[in-house]
Amino acid sequence: MTVTIYIPRDSGALALGAEKVAKAVAHEVSERGLDARIVRNGSRGLYWLEPMVEVETAAGRVAYGPMKARDVPALFDAGLGITAHSTHPLFLGDPEKIPFLEKQTRLTFARCGITDPLSLDDYRAHGGLKGLENAVAMAPADIVKQVTESGLRGRGGAGFPTGIKWKTVLDQTDDRKYIVCNADEGDSATFADRMIMEGDPFVLIEGMAIAGVATGATKGYIYIRSEYPHAVATMNAAIGIARQAGVLGVNVLGSPNAFDMEVRVGAGAYVCGEETSLLNSLEGKRGVVRAKPPLPAIQGLFGKPTVINNVISLASVPIIMDKGADHYKDFGMGRSRGTIPIQIAGNVKHGGLFEAAFGLSLGEIIDDIGGGTATGRPVKAAQVGGPLGAYFPRALFDTPFDYEAFAAKDGLIGHAGITVFDDSADMLKQARFAMEFCAVESCGKCTPCRIGSVRGVETLDKVAQGVERDKNLALVTDLCNTMKFGSLCALGGFTPYPVMSAINHFPEDFRPHPVKEAAE
């Protein structure tokens, strides 16, 4: 029997040496003359165990990790592929029984880490394309209705109902419409888009094709940031395969619907994650924010009606069209329906991707699932939602993971990335960084963002130097108010979240240093 050995091709695994492990495995296989097949899968998202090698045995898959090239020979000595038990020190047993994975509800990430990302047969064998098959047999309005009823909201951060956006585009009568996938995942602590593009690209292609069929759009673009070369390569390869197999093209799955797509690569501008900047960038312009209205759904790319959705929103559509709106809607709480791929990152023991229904508390995620800090020191703060998200102190760790609950605590879940900080973090420094980042990345169109962020850095520097602390903190607060309500987009508008949350929840860090030392 041919033994199948899975070694991830995910960037996170590659960053931890997966390529060397793969070479060592290939070497042992040929050296020992074994009948084995190596599959480069996506990541399961358990990054503290990456590179995690999995072997298909008669009793199912077993995992080993974190592997180094030097651990590979022992893998073969320990009776690879013969039994589901092993004496290898890195033996993890059935990967699905690892608590971090066992506790998840994987809908969007159902195949990620399991299949060969570039095998369409694998994709079909694991339930792929069923959603699109259903969609091409339905009236566009019914597809839109099903997506609306699922309660799916934009996973990019804004949380706008996906079905309503689609309905607006469907209602337009233009001759040309577009589906644009926002894969400009620039927020620190987020990597869900990257993982799905590298680990299960067909699910995104399927989601975009469904969006095309549902709204009458025939052309799709995936705008991927240039910092993700592996995701770009995998998506390009997958699109080629999908086109060849008739999933894309003039007759999607043999239906009268035409839909094709291509990848476009960004050029290192964070603000292009904002949807209207992204559209300008796709058109070949400076990535400057557009004023809304007109909404992109009415006048988007090249002035045509455009669905612009995040990767995870689109990748969640196939399962909704396969299993039905109710199946998806039954997960979650309040107005936050379905599952959310939470990305646990930064200074955390068990970092990775945790897809679960909305409703877990922040504390459960960080302490129970994440296992606390990697350094072993106490958790001081968690920034939720990327560089524009608020810093939460432990006192607010009972906040449930839900769009409205986070908004009620002056925060946001954004793209669901969580950066954990231990007690060595200096929150004044973090607040200053938020302003500095805004200054570096501002598109320059509106004054509150362009000038406000620069003044914010200067004023926080004065606070750090102990110059008129109270007066300058009041000035920062006032400035944040102006940025929040006066900026055109979320870059300037949300930078106040990390700044004000740092000031409000960690006032001790904003005392001038001599006083701080005196107090200790």
Partner 1 sequence: MTMQPAGTEVASRTMSIIDDLKGLEGPLLPILHEIQEEFGFVPKEALPVIAEALNISNAEVHGVVTFYHDYRNHPAGRHVLKVCRAEACQSMGGDAIAAQIQQRLGIGFHETAKDNSVTLEPVYCLGLCACSPSAMLDGEVIGRLDADKIDEIVEEIRR
**What are the residues binding partner 1 (CB under 8 A)?**
11-12, 14-16, 47-48, 50, 185-191, 193-194, 226-230, 264-270, 281-288, 302, 343-348, 351-353, 374, 383, 386-387, 417, 419-422, 425, 430, 433, 437, 440-441, 443
Of 98 and 288, which has the nearer Cβ to partner 1? 288
Widest pairwise Cα distance in the chain? 76
Looking only at the bridges linking them, the beta strands covering 60-64 and 53-57 are: antiparallel
Residues 6 or more apart whose CB falls under 8 angstroms from that of 327 comprise 319, 320
Q: Is the Cβ–Cβ distance between 311 and 234 less than 8 Å?
A: no
Least separation in angstroms between residue 462's CB and partner 1 is: 21
Other beta carbons within 10 Å of 133: 16
Q: Give the per-residue SS3 of 376-445.
A: CCCEEEEEECHHHCCEEEHHHCCCECCHHHHHHCCCCCCCCEEEEEECCCCHHHHHHHHHHHHHHHCCCC
Of 63 and 319, which has the nearer Cβ to partner 1? 63
Of 162 and 190, which has the nearer Cβ to partner 1? 190
Of 284 and 514, which has the nearer Cβ to partner 1? 284
Of 166 and 270, which has the nearer Cβ to partner 1? 270
Q: Is 156 helix (H, G, I), strand (E, B) or coil?
A: coil
Q: Which residue has the tokens 């954004």?
A: 414
CA 251 to chain centre: 31
Residues 379, 372: Cα–Cα separation, whole Å: 7
Q: Is the Cβ–Cβ distance between 195 and 42 less than 8 Å?
A: yes
Q: Is 430 exposed, middle or buried (0-12, 13-18, 19+ CB in 10 A)?
A: buried
Q: Is the Cβ–Cβ distance between 211 and 307 less than 8 Å?
A: yes
Least separation in angstroms between residue 464's CB and partner 1 is: 15
Least separation in angstroms between residue 160's CB and partner 1 is: 24
Q: Is 362 helix (H, G, I), strand (E, B) or coil?
A: helix
Instruction: Output the CA–CA distances (angstroms, integers) from residue 520 to 390, 513, 515, in the order listed.
Output: 27, 11, 9
> How large is the angle between the packed helices 201-215 and 162-171, nearest 10 degrees?
40
Least separation in angstroms between residue 150's CB and partner 1 is: 27
Least separation in angstroms between residue 28's CB and partner 1 is: 24
Other beta carbons within 10 Å of 417: 26
DSSP 449-465: HHHHHHHHHHHHHHHHT
Least separation in angstroms between residue 197's CB and partner 1 is: 10
Of 37 and 286, which has the nearer Cβ to partner 1? 286
Of 355 and 441, which has the nearer Cβ to partner 1? 441
User: What token pair was written down for 13?
Assistant: 């695994």
Contacts made by residues 515-518, CB under 8 angstroms, sequence distance 24+: 515/466
Of 55 and 208, which has the nearer Cβ to partner 1? 208
Least separation in angstroms between residue 21's CB and partner 1 is: 14
Least separation in angstroms between residue 459's CB and partner 1 is: 21
Of 34 and 265, which has the nearer Cβ to partner 1? 265
Least separation in angstroms between residue 188's CB and partner 1 is: 4
Of 170 and 345, which has the nearer Cβ to partner 1? 345
Looking only at the bridges linking them, the beta strands covering 336-337 and 339-346 are: unpaired
Of 154 and 387, which has the nearer Cβ to partner 1? 387
2 DSSP 8-state letter:
P
Residue type, 356: A
Least separation in angstroms between residue 191's CB and partner 1 is: 4
Instruction: Output the CA–CA distances (angstroms, integers) from residue 143 to 209, 260, 408, in the order listed.
Output: 12, 19, 33
Of 267 and 395, which has the nearer Cβ to partner 1? 267
Least separation in angstroms between residue 415's CB and partner 1 is: 11
Least separation in angstroms between residue 215's CB and partner 1 is: 18
